[in-house]
């Protein structure tokens, strides 16, 4: 058995001719930056997500920074966010001189606990930045109603949740802006770096476009401070092909997640992930919570079963972000960081692989 955390080779072998043709079309056209393929993908992604505007950018980290620049986030502003996420979520805030104000996670969903948001709001709070972690939508109704009450922006970090659904609508369509990553291992991934900023707001859309393109609308006229952050045409061409499969792939992830949960639920030391009945969780990661996590990881590795820890150190305990929150002040995030482990998850898994993985976990705890 050759089990991968994410098996991009298996995926490519199934859609090879379409991908190869799409790449060659771009090379033949020599339109490498922006152009028709990028426009096409922006339109297709916006239609798919049910939003007005989609802007291709260089990666998901840039998407977050551009979104925060577009809302005018600046020095000493505060952004309410989660410490239990990939570093980029906090990085973008700190990069702009603003301060991340961490709210602890709900220990069941691993997402921002909406009941703890209001107590963290101050006169400097400018935005709430939830993450749909592992592909499980954050509690958007509660978050949006708090944002409305205090007049705050909501930026969705949807890097792990392309196609996930909350109460009948795709994530990315709830906040003022949403940010997407097409890093190869994401559930919609390209063959390099790529990202996207989406919004329904005309004014924010115009700002995002300008910021991503050196603060400029008219060539060589720079109205605001911007950067160079574009989605490559080759990546857009690949994404146009893959977008046709995303629902099928997300459904398969969901199916494999159910299978994992079925087989693991009898083990006392393992807590399987759950999904609320009003969401479609797309299982970018299938992450369980266990006792003796590090030992389990070694044991699985000895059987050539890859696993990953998302994430071993909550962001408030990272050396780069010292001083934003005390150790011990975000207990659920700190505890989760010690107990979570992600199992192989991708749409091309085989049932016998899941059987082998779950039997191995049973063996470890027996
Ligand atoms: C991957 C990821 C990002 C960053 O995306 P890149 O394309 O790698 O820059 C941001 N936030 C979260 C939650 C992510 O998982």
Residue 352: which CATH number? 3.90.1150.10
Mutate which of 86, 138, 172 to test ligand 1's pocket (most atoms within 8 Å of Cβ)? 86
Rg (CA), the chain: 20
Q: In terms of domains, do 94 and 217 share one? A: yes
Q: Residue 18: what pLDDT?
A: 98
Strand arrangement of the beta sheet that strand 340-343 belongs to: 270-271, 286-290, 340-343
Tens of pLDDT, residue by residue over 256-272, are 999 999 999 999 999 99
Q: Residue 166: what pLDDT?
A: 98
Q: In terms of domains, do 288 and 214 share one? A: no
Q: In terms of domains, do 211 and 322 share one? A: no
Q: Are 336 and 105 in contact (CB under 8 A)?
A: yes
Q: In terms of domains, do 45 and 115 share one? A: yes
Q: Which domain holds residue 299?
A: 247-365
Q: In terms of domains, do 126 and 62 share one? A: yes
Q: In terms of domains, do 229 and 266 share one? A: no
Query: In this structure, is residue 3 part of a structural domain?
Result: no
Query: In this structure, is residue 128 part of a structural domain?
Result: yes
Around ligand 1, the residues with Cβ closer than 6 Å are 59-61, 85-86, 88-89, 131, 157, 159-160, 181, 183, 193, 195
Closest approach atom of ligand 1 to CA 59:
7
Q: In terms of domains, do 193 and 329 share one? A: no
Q: In terms of domains, do 345 and 217 share one? A: no
Tally of domains within the chain: 2
Cα-to-centroid distance, 115 and ligand 1 (Å): 25
| List of residues 6+ apart from 91 with CB closer than 8 A | 61, 64
- Among 209, 243, 277, the domain-final residue is 243
Q: In terms of domains, do 168 and 76 share one? A: yes
Q: Residue 87: what pLDDT?
A: 98
Residue 30: which CATH number? 3.40.640.10
Mutate which of 60, 64, 94 to test ligand 1's pocket (most atoms within 8 Å of Cβ)? 60
Q: Residue 205: what pLDDT?
A: 98
Query: In this structure, is residue 160 part of a structural domain?
Result: yes
- Among 243, 267, 302, the domain-final residue is 243
Q: In terms of domains, do 257 and 358 share one? A: yes
- Among 220, 243, 266, the domain-final residue is 243
Query: In this structure, is residue 322 part of a structural domain?
Result: yes
Q: Residue 1: what pLDDT?
A: 87
Closest approach atom of ligand 1 to CA 62:
9
Query: In this structure, is residue 60 part of a structural domain?
Result: yes
Q: In terms of domains, do 239 and 268 share one? A: no
The Cα 255–Cα 357 span in angstroms is 16
Residues of the chain with pLDDT under 70: none
Query: In this structure, is residue 1 part of a structural domain?
Result: no
Cα-to-centroid distance, 356 and ligand 1 (Å): 30
Q: Residue 38: what pLDDT?
A: 98
């Amino acid at each position: 058995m050759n089990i991968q955390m994410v098996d991009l080779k298996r995926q490519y072998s199934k859609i090879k001719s379409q991908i190869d043709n799409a790449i060659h079309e771009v090379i033949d056209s020599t339109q490498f930056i922006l152009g028709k393929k990028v426009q096409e993908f922006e339109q297709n992604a916006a239609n798919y997500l049910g939003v007005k505007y989609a802007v291709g950018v260089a990666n998901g980290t840039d998407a977050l920074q551009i979104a925060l620049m577009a809302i005018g986030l600046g020095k000493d502003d505060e952004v309410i966010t989660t410490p239990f996420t990939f570093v980029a979520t906090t990085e973008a805030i700190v990069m702009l001189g603003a301060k991340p104000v961490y709210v602890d996670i709900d220990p069941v969903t691993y997402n921002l606990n909406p009941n703890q948001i209001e107590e963290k709001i101050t006169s400097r709070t400018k935005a709430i930045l939830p993450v749909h972690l592992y592909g499980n939508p954050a509690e958007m109704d509660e978050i949006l109603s708090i944002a409305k009450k205090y007049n705050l922006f909501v930026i969705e970090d949807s890097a792990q949740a392309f196609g996930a659904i909350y109460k009948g609508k795709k994530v990315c369509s709830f906040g003022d802006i949403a940010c997407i990553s097409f890093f190869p291992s994401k559930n919609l991934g390209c063959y390099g770096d790529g990202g996207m900023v989406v919004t329904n707001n005309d004014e924010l859309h115009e700002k995002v476009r300008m910021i991503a393109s050196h603060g400029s609308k008219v060539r060589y006229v720079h109205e605001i401070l911007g950067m160079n952050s574009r989605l490559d045409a080759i990546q857009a061409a690949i994404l146009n092909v893959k977008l046709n499969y995303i629902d099928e792939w997300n459904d398969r992830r969901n199916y494999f997640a159910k299978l994992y949960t079925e087989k693991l639920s009898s083990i006392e030391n393992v807590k399987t992930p759950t999904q609320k009945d009003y969401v479609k969780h797309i299982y970018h990661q299938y992450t369980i919570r266990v006792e003796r996590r590090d030992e389990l990881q070694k044991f699985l590795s000895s059987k050539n079963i890859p696993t990953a820890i998302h994430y071993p150190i909550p962001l408030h305990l990272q050396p780069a972000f010292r001083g934003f929150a005390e150790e011990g002040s975000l207990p659920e995030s700190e505890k989760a960081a010690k107990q979570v482990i992600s199992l192989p998850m991708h749409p091309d898994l085989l049932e016998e692989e899941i059987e082998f993985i779950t039997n191995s976990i049973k063996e470890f705890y027996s």
